[in-house]
Structure 1
């Protein structure tokens, strides 16, 4: 008989009634570890801290360990991220290491915990020993601390400062972006360098509105440097998550669906604006890489990723944008959109995620409804199929009913209810995506939806007017609200001839609407500006705006 001892592992639970009941029955503290496949610090804890026999034994014997994938359960991650911020008076990234009582009162919140003591920071082993002892000897103090923290999770600000939304915000955007710009290698930070696709999209809007050369120079400097090699994978194509250095040459070698969806669309948009063939080449090569790497015939999920509704919706938007270069991408877009609507939108319920060849179980969050709503608007713009517009309107009604609370938006109305913030993270803020959807419905269906947009922008006006780059997509919605949409109305036959031209127009907020008439009406969201007989004259008029 072999004397070799079998390697033990941590007995991780998922977030479930079983795990919570076990904690209560055994009167053990819960160790909640919330991680991400794209986080290098999460990976370090897997490889070092969680590989120690001593730590494995301590966790299994003295705690109920629960592991949560932040991409699969972003509601839990956001809720406990708020807990972390309240307890530490600072923010953090992945992972989150939270200790709770069996009644879910949080009493310790950390992030990356090393496997060795480092200066004043305890190692995971030391921390586990301290906490497990304190849980027995001073439980009441820990529980009281946790109750106090929870009482502040969803406290609303009493005094909200509002200020006038003014088009002078464009000057602030230009000043702040110029001050933050790396004038040698592009981008808006020191190492590590993230692409900040939302900020670059905002600057594209500003350039199309103002035609300011400095804005275009900042854009092209960044776009050119990001594709020289490193952050952009010259060999296999596609973009990595971020660069470790200022020159964009040393990537953190993880690729995600959400990064590539946003960056490919950014380069497609830049190509339409500049006609720079390098931008077109990079966009198409990266899009083909994403299509090739799909683990499912219809859905996008790169290595170690779940199939996420919002991420796939972003990819569909990108595919629709690419269809102006090659119609085959429209076929891909409609295939994935149909898959989302058939496998992730079941019996009137939208789901957030699913595993390959399995049914979805986790219901959708605000980001899924809003991003998919925007995608349905894109589908209507590229196909002129009214059914997409009808469904987008249904989603708009649903998010107002379930997620909107007096100008504020909640990310999830369930057990982990927390206010959605306005800052763009891995994907744009759900608040800004909600406003994007509502502005589109206001222009294409009913102008009354715009009141929800105004109330949200008014609530956040003080921070937006002073720090517009802190929430770049929401700042885009300020510009769109102030400048207004242009809606080109005509019959389906005429508009279909120009669906590929819409995204190439010189004004950033142009939408098509099918009506029963032969002429081309140029409307804003509340009136007709003029009528033209040819699309060429429409294009000429838009250049004057």
Structure 2
């Protein structure tokens, strides 16, 4: 049977269509053949911007000897984790059970002919090493044991099946109170990198939900330590490396502690969440640098990562098979280029020194652009333009052009938020919202992903409904167009019908029944996000949604109060529930006239609601506090209610 991936839409699967391995996509035919011919099943899960996925492809899946063995004795299935996150979540749980620790990508699963998993790994090298069996030796052993119907192997696979059930309800609930803020701050302090910001050791991930939690704590309590941890981290990240000073946009994570050497992939979700965080940080601090970073990142996404008002999913770290090649600079070549384009030698040497482009380099002999000073020197803008021009002569890294609903929703929400401070982004946000709804919301059904020009196939998961709902609510807050609010309610009602059961949320309930995440990984777990939407609808539409938010918080409260840093987005929603939302209700004319005052309110949990009543009013979740007019001091009136 030939490699069947050439028929698939996914760019990641298309990357593997020429492998000598006879790959199948996830399909019934593959599993039927495994049973019929008594062959083990090998399932490989990855995504297009995953560096180690590319390494394993080159070393293992392009190896003729290994491919021949796989084709003879295995049914091989390739999965794009971004296209089928439900399958990925299921097999990450398999990995956890088999290895007593979290997995990663590529994910390598071996199953019996009945598709009962018994072995799970991540990257597996071709040949055995001191502490790791090589792929060739591993498949020799597995194929032999399957042929012999090895009792131990099949019994173990059967035992594992018993663990692969959705988790049961927690045995107890805990009281949610302000004390959770102190626990969160203590855990942040313990993990904070006082030198370079961020949390934990390398590799360092941005942990945007944690930073947003610190921002809210500062706004609520004026706690300077929270603000310092936030701003020190932001200031460190934007010095270059993690943040691309030449073409803007953020990379996935830093491979070391100073944010200099990133994994060069750029993900839509990271950049969306950074736009939101920097915009909100500007609102709180009035630091223009933060607003400029937000706008530059948005413009990067619009220029490089979108088409037809739809955002792509990711760009790769590698160019021509070399990680970071597109992004780094050779000293001699750059110096010569600058001199050929208007710099004299002294000025060129000076500006290259400022930008840390040196003869010795800071990344494998080349240089990542870095600028660590507060004020920009003479010729800075010209130098950045020339560095951009150098890149334009290179091949841009591969872009995975999947359109993923939840990630587009994150970007659109951030654009609407940003438009409060730069009106030019409002039209762009509306156009992107219209495009994603037209593309992936069909006949009252939301879909998870598609390609431009192709039909969507996979129905949406909880995260798609959750992120779309919060994006639509932000669109309503920005535009006061009640169509957005009605659609948000529609999304949440559908999510409640399909994924909710007595306080518990499921990520998927179709072919795979998987629990929804409360912890934040690459981005916020969808339980926290759907609670966010419920709380907003609870103040804007109907109290019942707030009650459902409480059920969701209570369900996870025992873990949440002990380890809030593990669940920062859900922590934020718990604080929001405790402190309670406020809403300013009024006519469109009134709300527009007080908009600048509204945007400068410190309290982080305030909504606007377009009312048909002539009288504007400030309300809470249970009662209204005071009438308002255009002469009212919104900040003073709001503070009286807290």
**Structure 2-normalised TM-score?**
0.82
Larger deviation: 283-292 or 509-518? 509-518
The answer for the alignment partner of 1:419 in structure 2 is 515
Larger deviation: 489-498 or 438-447? 489-498
The answer for the alignment partner of 1:54 in structure 2 is 65
- 1-structure distance, mates of 2:35, 2:599: 57
> Are 2:369 and 1:358 equivalent residues in the alignment?
no
Larger deviation: 39-48 or 407-416? 39-48
- 2-structure distance, mates of 1:474, 1:174: 15
User: Against the structure 1 CA distance between its residues 73 and 501, is the aligned structure 2 distance closer, same or farther, given a 3 Å change threshold?
Assistant: farther
- 1-structure distance, mates of 2:401, 2:180: 38
- 2-structure distance, mates of 1:318, 1:155: 33
> Are 2:173 and 1:162 equivalent residues in the alignment?
yes
How far has the Cα of 1:307 moved from its partner? 0.9
Give SS of 1:362's match. coil
> Are 2:300 and 1:289 equivalent residues in the alignment?
yes
**Among residues 122, 128, 149, which one is paired with 2:133 in the alignment?**
122
**Among residues 327, 332, 335, which one is paired with 2:423 in the alignment?**
327
The answer for the alignment partner of 1:531 in structure 2 is 627
The answer for the alignment partner of 1:203 in structure 2 is 214
How far has the Cα of 1:158 moved from its partner? 6.2
How far has the Cα of 1:8 moved from its partner? 6.2
User: Against the structure 1 CA distance between its residues 151 and 503, is the aligned structure 2 distance closer, same or farther, given a 3 Å change threshold?
Assistant: farther
The answer for the alignment partner of 2:101 in structure 1 is 90
Match runs of 1:370-389 below 5 Å: 370-389=466-485
The answer for the alignment partner of 1:490 in structure 2 is 586
> Are 2:533 and 1:437 equivalent residues in the alignment?
yes
**Among residues 500, 508, 531, which one is paired with 1:404 in the alignment?**
500
Q: CA contact under 8 A between 2:166 and 2:514: conserved in structure 1?
A: no
The answer for the alignment partner of 1:71 in structure 2 is 82
- 2-structure distance, mates of 1:385, 1:25: 57
The answer for the alignment partner of 2:574 in structure 1 is 478
- 1-structure distance, mates of 2:561, 2:241: 36
> Are 2:196 and 1:185 equivalent residues in the alignment?
yes
- 1-structure distance, mates of 2:131, 2:560: 38
Q: CA contact under 8 A between 2:476 and 2:482: conserved in structure 1?
A: yes
The answer for the alignment partner of 1:3 in structure 2 is none
The answer for the alignment partner of 1:395 in structure 2 is 491
- 1-structure distance, mates of 2:594, 2:38: 66
- 2-structure distance, mates of 1:317, 1:513: 18
Larger deviation: 394-403 or 66-75? 394-403
How many aligned positions are there? Answer: 539
Q: CA contact under 8 A between 1:381 and 1:499: conserved in structure 2?
A: no
How far has the Cα of 1:116 moved from its partner? 2.1
Q: CA contact under 8 A between 1:520 and 1:535: conserved in structure 2?
A: no
> Are 2:226 and 1:215 equivalent residues in the alignment?
yes
**Among residues 157, 164, 176, which one is paired with 2:187 in the alignment?**
176
How far has the Cα of 1:398 moved from its partner? 1.3
Larger deviation: 128-137 or 37-46? 37-46
Q: CA contact under 8 A between 1:502 and 1:511: conserved in structure 2?
A: no
How far has the Cα of 1:284 moved from its partner? 0.9
User: Against the structure 1 CA distance between its residues 27 and 481, is the aligned structure 2 distance closer, same or farther, given a 3 Å change threshold?
Assistant: same
The answer for the alignment partner of 1:81 in structure 2 is 92
Q: CA contact under 8 A between 2:538 and 2:544: conserved in structure 1?
A: yes
CA deviations over 1:281-332 (Å, ceiling 9, x no partner): 1111111010001342211114124210000000000100110122221111
How far has the Cα of 1:498 moved from its partner? 4.2
The answer for the alignment partner of 2:617 in structure 1 is 521
Larger deviation: 250-259 or 118-127? 118-127
CA deviations over 1:392-436 (Å, ceiling 9, x no partner): 111111111110122111100111111112111222111011111
Higher Cα radius of gyration: 2
- 2-structure distance, mates of 1:496, 1:381: 11
How far has the Cα of 1:194 moved from its partner? 0.6
User: Against the structure 1 CA distance between its residues 158 and 473, is the aligned structure 2 distance closer, same or farther, given a 3 Å change threshold?
Assistant: closer
CA deviations over 1:423-467 (Å, ceiling 9, x no partner): 112221110111111111111111012222112211211211111
- 1-structure distance, mates of 2:424, 2:600: 19
User: Against the structure 1 CA distance between its residues 501 and 142, is the aligned structure 2 distance closer, same or farther, given a 3 Å change threshold?
Assistant: farther
Larger deviation: 255-264 or 44-53? 44-53
User: Against the structure 1 CA distance between its residues 375 and 498, is the aligned structure 2 distance closer, same or farther, given a 3 Å change threshold?
Assistant: farther
User: Against the structure 1 CA distance between its residues 136 and 262, is the aligned structure 2 distance closer, same or farther, given a 3 Å change threshold?
Assistant: same
Q: Cα RMSD between the aligned structures?
A: 1.6
Give SS of 1:68's match. strand
